[in-house]
A and B are shown apart, each in its own frame.
Chain A
Amino acid sequence: MSSGSHHPNLETLAGRIEAGTGVKLAHCYQCGKCAAGCPVGDEMDLPPCQVFRLLQLGFPELDEKVLRSEGIWLCLACETCSSRCPQEVEIPKVMDFIRGEALKRGIAHPKSKDILSFHRAFLDSIEYTGRLYEVGLVADYKMRSRHLLKDVMLAPKMYLKGKLGLFPHLIKNRSGMKTLFKRTVGKG
Chain B
Amino acid sequence: MKIGYYPGCSLLGSSREFDESTRAVLAALGVELAEVSDWNCCGASSAHVLNHELSLALPARILALAEQAGITEILAPCAACSNRLLSAQQELAKHPEMIAEVEAAIGMPYKGTAKIVNILEVLDRLKDQIAAKTTKPFTKKVANYYGCLLVRPPRVVNFDRPEDPQSMDLMVKAVGATPVEWPFKTECCGAAFSVTRTDIVAKLSGKLVKDAVNRGAEVIVVACPMCHSNLDLRRNEINEYLGKKHGIPAMFITQVIGLALGLDPVTLGLQRHMVPVNV
Contact = CB atoms under 8 A, between A and B. Distances in A.
Interface in B187-233: 187-188, 190-193, 195-197, 200, 204, 233
Given A39-B188, A76-B191, A161-B273, A118 B51 contact: no
A19 interface: no
A172 to B, nearest CB: 5
Contacts, number: 156
A132 B1 CA distance: 30
Interface residues of B, number: 57
Contacts of A164: 13-14
B58 interface: yes
A21 to B, nearest CB: 9
A131 interface: yes
A158 B153 contact: no
Q: How many residues of A sit at the interface, in one of the four size bands?
A: 35 or more
Interface in A107-137: 114-120, 122-123, 125-126, 130-134
Contacts of B58: 126, 180
B262 interface: no
A180 B195 CA distance: 27
Contact of A96 (B48, B57, B162): B48
A131 B148 contact: no
A130 B188 contact: no
A173 B38 contact: yes
A115 B41 contact: no
A154 B195 CA distance: 11
A151 B236 CA distance: 11
29 contacts: A39-B187, A39-B204, A76-B190, A76-B191, A77-B45, A77-B48, A78-B148, A79-B153, A80-B186, A80-B188, A96-B49, A97-B52, A99-B49, A118-B46, A119-B50, A123-B46, A126-B43, A131-B9, A132-B13, A132-B44, A133-B13, A134-B13, A138-B195, A161-B273, A165-B13, A169-B9, A171-B40, A176-B107, A183-B57
